[in-house]
Amino acid sequence: MNENEMTSPGYEIPPELRHQVTITTLERIYNWGRANSLWPMMFGLACCAIEMIATAASRYDLARFGMEVMRPSPRQSDVLIVSGTVTKKMVPQIVRLYNQMAEPRYVIAMGACASGGGPFKEGYNVVSGIDKFIPVDVYIPGCPPTPQALLNGLIALQKKIKRQSLRDLPWYQKGPAEPIPVPVLGPDLMDPRKFALIREVTHRQAVQDQQEGEVAHE
Amino acid sequence: MSEAVPRIAQIPNLVDLFPDKVQPDTRPGYQGYLVGREHLLEVVQRLRDEYGYDYLSSVTGVDYLPEGKMEVVYHLYKTLGGPALVLKVQMPREDPRVPSLVPLYRGAEFQEREAWDLLGIRFEGHPDLRRILMWEGFAGFPLRKDWREPYFEEEAKPFKSRWPEGFVFRAEDRNPFGDNVQYPPGFDPETWTPPDDEAIYRVLKRASEEDDLHADTLVVNLGPQHPSTHGVFRMVVSLSEETILDLKPVMGYLHRNHEKIGERNTFLQNMPFTDRLDYLCSMSNNFGYALAVEKLMGVKPPERAEYIRVMMAELTRFLNHIFAIGFLLNDLGAYFTPALYAIEERELILDIFEAVSGSRMMCNYFRFGGVARDVSPDILEKVRRLVYDRLPRKVDEMDEFLTRNEIVRERCEGVGVLTAEQAIANSASGPVLRASGVPYDVRRAEPYSIYDRLEFDVAVRYHGDIYDRYLIRLDEMRQSLRILQQVVRDIPEGPIMTGKPQYQVRVPPGEAYGRVEGPKGELGFYVVSNGKPNPWRYHVRAPSFINLTSLVDMARGAKVADVVAILGSIDIVLGEVDR
């Protein structure tokens, strides 16, 4: 943050203190601190995780942005980089990890698969994007995104954080946050939020099958 | 008996050996023998014990829907070398049962579970026949030809909706649930009781009741989100104090339906998907798939393309092994510094891949009958500088830093031992097999491409512990450099493609099994074509997946802290384990 950004207009700083004192808003200094010490979760799913490792290594050096501290525990991490294909078998674990992260928390969908299913979208075990279950802040295109693209995505997230206001963020409101219901593995993946819809459609299908059976019987 | 034992290169004539039990497969384009399922165990046992077919490479099923048949295909090899002996068992689709080969070859365990999971073939006598890639309770057997996925659009690509008009819709909009899901008619989610993990825990060995100490058995889950499982892999371990009694790998957390998608795709459309199998070594995967389809098509790439292919495959092997060593050290507790050293050289190789193919990791570089683009002289010059100067120095540097390191030796020597007999029985391949003292390398045992003309040694180590699996990777990197030096020296000028490059290749009906010595082990592609633009069956024999069979043998008796290092020494990539 340069000096112009830091110093809010309207306050006169005496010339002798100009390089020692700076005046800003609480929101700005707080967001500035948060944006530059994002700790990603050490969590790799698929091919994109290898590029994430390459980003953390010496040539691309994630440490320049204050993000080199990868934490294996969701309790200690600020940003969840969903790096790879989200499968139905894995998504309950991802939702659980997200629920366990302390707020404020951010999610980056890295690559085509995490953003929308990618090349494997048509597969029977693939979730069409992690945003079907958890809110995503930044989407990074690519298959896999290059380390430069991931860095760009992280910088985009930093910009987003710097624009946020303490007043309207959900995690600064009163009352605890509601955890996201963990999907259940049944005959296929079941989202608890959609149980009513599932029951309605399968019931309709059963009635339809029965009618067709009767018609065929006649 | 001695005159009946054939020479290595010959396949014994099974019809003479087992009259009435075996008949040759006479379908055009097919090879091998059909065995009645009631004779399978007997025939295979004699082949193993008397004829030296001690290595069961691949087990897979094929659903021949039009004929109303299921087929299980076995590829048997001798560890002394030579071509495959292909056995097939046919059965009616309504009654898909076949005796399990696990009593003879433990390496069949996971592959048979996979065939049960995806095709619904019941292997009788299998000790633990559960779903392996999907979860218990999943409806249907996805690889059966009459099973349709929720986003089903058409049997085969290119889909009419997309081509030639290019009208694209969102698959979600056509699904009544607005998502990639489907349920049996009349299903009520409220009445569903999710099957718990009891099935896994039940098969785990516990401390015996007669034990004097009456020690409790502790069951520990490692993964699927664990910093040292190299991805989304889960191990269920039963412990007596700190010693491992039993271990069950649980996988499928990255099952991306490679084979189902592959059977909808056209032949060439599969090439970029093979990149994403073992995502560290996309070039080797391309190689195996190209070989399998070229066998069916009967084309051979020109000389320059063969050299380029070998060059890329060996660079990939170097890249994979140096990455594997870096992350093995990571697992041993040397957090990230050795890995950083390893990644440095990896980036230089990735630069070459990016220059020739346009992508760092997912190269999609091979074509049937050649490669996609030529290698320019300045890239060749870069490769030359790498393989003569930088990379050999890197291997020596790693060797110097790590090999005699006291902590590395303390943690690795004598830990996670796999004997040669176990390795062969478990169908282990690649460095895991060779570190146990079996000098079996597909590049020598059944040479493909130009490997028969190149000078290199098959690296072999004899202790079968973590340390030897580390050392053999160093040895193989040195051999790879030796090959690369010959390749950059001898690479001829000329075309890089046989015939014109085309999007839609004509593949005659038949079956083919193409295998290469990938960095992780024997990577095989079993492809069945029925003359249409899409493969009828497309199966990947994934080395990481089958090498995991040995994990329990290595881990039993070790301490719980070692299991992470043992897993690191097998060097798995989850994209290939789960496909």
Q: What is the pLDDT of residues B418-467, one digit of tens each?
A: 999 999 999 999 999 999 999 999 988 888 889 988 999 999 999 989 99
CB-based contact A46 B261, cutoff 8 Å: no
Average pLDDT over residues B495-519: 86
State the helix-helix crossing angle for A47-56 and B337-357, rounded to 10 degrees: 120
pLDDT of res. B473:
92
Q: Which residue in B147, B148, B170, B187 has the most chain A C-beta atoms within 10 A of its own C-beta, making it the best mutation to test that interface?
A: B187
pLDDT-derived band of residue B2, with 50, 70 and 90 as boundaries? very low
The size of chain B, in residues, is 579
Tell whether residue A139 is among the known ligand binding residues. no
pLDDT of res. B229:
66
Q: Is the pLDDT of residue B186 over 60?
A: yes
Return the number of other C-beta atoms located less than 10 Å from residue B384's C-beta: 15
To the nearest whole number, what is the mean pLDDT of chain B?
87
Which among B182, B225, B256 has the least Cβ separation from residue A93? Answer: B225
Return the number of other C-beta atoms located less than 10 Å from residue B270's C-beta: 21
Rounded Cα distance between B140 and B150, Å, is: 12
Q: Which residue in B118, B119, B138 has the most chain A C-beta atoms within 10 A of its own C-beta, making it the best mutation to test that interface?
A: B138
Q: Are B123 and B129 in contact (CB under 8 A)?
A: yes
CB-based contact B187 A90, cutoff 8 Å: no
pLDDT of res. A10:
58
pLDDT-derived band of residue A157, with 50, 70 and 90 as boundaries? very high
Q: Does B232 touch chain A (CB under 8 A)?
A: yes
CB-based contact B340 A209, cutoff 8 Å: no
Tokens at B62, concatenated: 């094929």
**Residues sharing a CB contact under 8 Å with residue B246, sequence separation 6 or more, in sequence order:** B204, B205, B206, B237, B238, B552, B556
The CA distance from A37 to the nearest CA of chain B, in Å, is 20
Average pLDDT over residues B279-286: 90
Distance of CA B383 to the CA centre of its chain: 28
Closest by CA to B34, choosing from B77, B98, B94, is B98
Which among B194, B255, B339 has the least Cβ separation from residue A185? Answer: B194
Average pLDDT over residues A66-83: 87
CB-based contact B257 A126, cutoff 8 Å: yes
Return the number of other C-beta atoms located less than 10 Å from residue B48's C-beta: 19
pLDDT in tens, B108-129: 999 999 999 999 899 988 888 8
Q: What is residue A216's three-state secondary structure?
A: helix
Closest by CA to B203, choosing from B552, B544, B550, is B552
The size of chain A, in residues, is 218
- DSSP result, B36-80: -TTTHHHHHHHHHHHH---EEEEEEEEEETTTTEEEEEEEEE-TT
- DSSP result, B496-532: SBSS---SS----SEEEEEEEE-SSSEEEEEEEE-SS
Q: What is residue B99's three-state secondary structure?
A: strand
Q: Are B157 and B266 in contact (CB under 8 A)?
A: yes
Rounded Cα distance between B240 and B560, Å, is: 10
Tokens at B271, concatenated: 């090439």
Nearest-Cα residue of chain A relative to residue B182: A188
pLDDT of res. A4:
55
pLDDT in tens, B243-277: 888 888 888 888 999 899 999 999 998 999 999 98
Q: Does B329 touch chain A (CB under 8 A)?
A: no
**Residues sharing a CB contact under 8 Å with residue B94, sequence separation 6 or more, in sequence order:** none
Which among B232, B264, B347 has the least Cβ separation from residue A90? Answer: B232
Nearest-Cα residue of chain A relative to residue B269: A119
Rounded Cα distance between B252 and B135, Å, is: 8
To the nearest whole number, what is the mean pLDDT of chain A?
85
Q: Is the pLDDT of residue B503 over 50?
A: yes
Q: Under CATH, which architecture does the A36-172 domain have?
A: 3-Layer(aba) Sandwich (3.40)
Closest by CA to B228, choosing from A97, A87, A44, is A44
Which residues of chain A does B133 touch, with a Cβ-Cβ cutoff of 8 Å?
125
Lowest average pLDDT, out of A1-5, A101-105, B353-357, goes to A1-5
pLDDT of res. B471:
93
pLDDT-derived band of residue B158, with 50, 70 and 90 as boundaries? confident
Tell whether residue A4 is among the known ligand binding residues. no
CB-based contact B232 A117, cutoff 8 Å: no
**Residues sharing a CB contact under 8 Å with residue B370, sequence separation 6 or more, in sequence order:** B301, B302, B305, B495, B496, B497, B498, B501
CB-based contact A125 B256, cutoff 8 Å: yes
* Pair type for strands B55-64 and B69-77: antiparallel
- Tell me which DSSP letter residue B101 carries: -
CA angle B491, B496, B498 (to 5 degrees): 130
Nearest-Cα residue of chain B relative to residue A146: B360
Radius of gyration of chain A (CA): 23
Which residues of chain B does A119 touch, with a Cβ-Cβ cutoff of 8 Å?
272-273, 276
- DSSP result, B413-473: TTSS---HHHHHHTT--THHHHTTT----HHHHS--TTGGGS-------SS-SHHHHHHHH
Nearest-Cα residue of chain A relative to residue B153: A122
pLDDT-derived band of residue B1, with 50, 70 and 90 as boundaries? very low
pLDDT of res. B213:
60
CB-based contact A121 B347, cutoff 8 Å: no
Q: Which residue in B254, B354, B359, B362 has the most chain A C-beta atoms within 10 A of its own C-beta, making it the best mutation to test that interface?
A: B254
Q: Does A182 touch chain B (CB under 8 A)?
A: no
**Residues sharing a CB contact under 8 Å with residue A128, sequence separation 6 or more, in sequence order:** A116, A117, A121, B171, B172, B179, B180
The CA distance from B297 to the nearest CA of chain A, in Å, is 27
pLDDT of res. B3:
44
Which among A54, A128, A205 has the least Cβ separation from residue B343? Answer: A54
Q: Does B173 touch chain A (CB under 8 A)?
A: no
Please report the beta strands in B211-356, taking only residues with DSSP state E, as ranges in sequence order. 217-222, 234-240, 243-250
Distance of CA B474 to the CA centre of its chain: 22
Q: What is residue B244's three-state secondary structure?
A: strand
Nearest-Cα residue of chain B relative to residue A131: B179
Lowest average pLDDT, out of A47-61, B195-209, B464-478, B561-575, goes to B195-209
CB-based contact B177 A122, cutoff 8 Å: no
For residue B494, which amino acid is it?
A: G
Q: Tell which B residues from 25 to 64 touch A, by Cβ distance under 8 Å.
A: none
Tell whether residue A143 is among the known ligand binding residues. yes
- Tell me which DSSP letter residue A78 carries: S
Chain position carrying tokens 């569903």: B192
Rounded Cα distance between A114 and B287, Å, is: 28
- Tell me which DSSP letter residue B387 carries: I
Average pLDDT over residues A60-86: 87
The CA distance from B450 to the nearest CA of chain A, in Å, is 30
pLDDT in tens, B348-392: 999 999 999 988 889 889 988 889 888 999 999 999 999 998 999
pLDDT of res. A11:
66
Rounded Cα distance between A202 and B314, Å, is: 53
Q: Which is higher by pLDDT, B412 or B189?
A: B412
Q: Does B574 touch chain A (CB under 8 A)?
A: yes
CB-based contact B180 A124, cutoff 8 Å: yes
Average pLDDT over residues B40-65: 89
Nearest-Cα residue of chain A relative to residue B577: A46
CB-based contact A187 B257, cutoff 8 Å: no
Q: Are B312 and B364 in contact (CB under 8 A)?
A: no
Q: Which long-range contacts (CB under 8 A, 24 or more apart) does A69-74 make?
A: A69/A39, A70/A39, A70/A40, A70/A41, A70/A42, A71/A39, A71/A40, A71/A41, A71/A42, A72/A41, A72/A42, A72/B226, A72/B227, A73/A41, A74/A41, A74/A98, A74/A100, A74/A101
Q: Is the pLDDT of residue A209 over 90?
A: no
Q: Are A116 and A142 in contact (CB under 8 A)?
A: no
Lowest average pLDDT, out of A157-161, B152-156, B341-345, goes to B152-156
Which residues of chain A does B176 touch, with a Cβ-Cβ cutoff of 8 Å?
201
Q: Which is higher by pLDDT, A133 or B52?
A: A133
For residue B224, which amino acid is it?
A: P
Q: Is the pLDDT of residue A217 over 60?
A: yes
Rounded Cα distance between B225 and A45, Å, is: 9
For residue B500, which amino acid is it?
A: K
Q: What percent of chain B has pLDDT over 90?
A: 31
Average pLDDT over residues B554-558: 88
Which among B181, B254, B273 has the least Cβ separation from residue A119? Answer: B273
Q: Tell which A residues from 11 to 70 touch B, by Cβ distance under 8 Å.
A: 42-47, 49-51, 53-54, 57-59
Give strand pairing partners of B404: none
The CA distance from A192 to the nearest CA of chain B, in Å, is 9
CA-CA distances (angstroms) from residue B458 to B57, B82, B475, B476, B544? 19, 16, 9, 8, 20
Q: Are B423 and B460 in contact (CB under 8 A)?
A: no
Sign of CA dihedral B186, B189, B193, B197: positive
Which among B183, B276, B346 has the least Cβ separation from residue A47? Answer: B276
Q: Is the pLDDT of residue A1 over 60?
A: no
Tokens at B503, concatenated: 């999007």
Q: Does A95 touch chain B (CB under 8 A)?
A: no
The CA distance from A217 to the nearest CA of chain B, in Å, is 19
CB-based contact A185 B135, cutoff 8 Å: yes
Q: Does B212 touch chain A (CB under 8 A)?
A: no
pLDDT of res. B219:
85
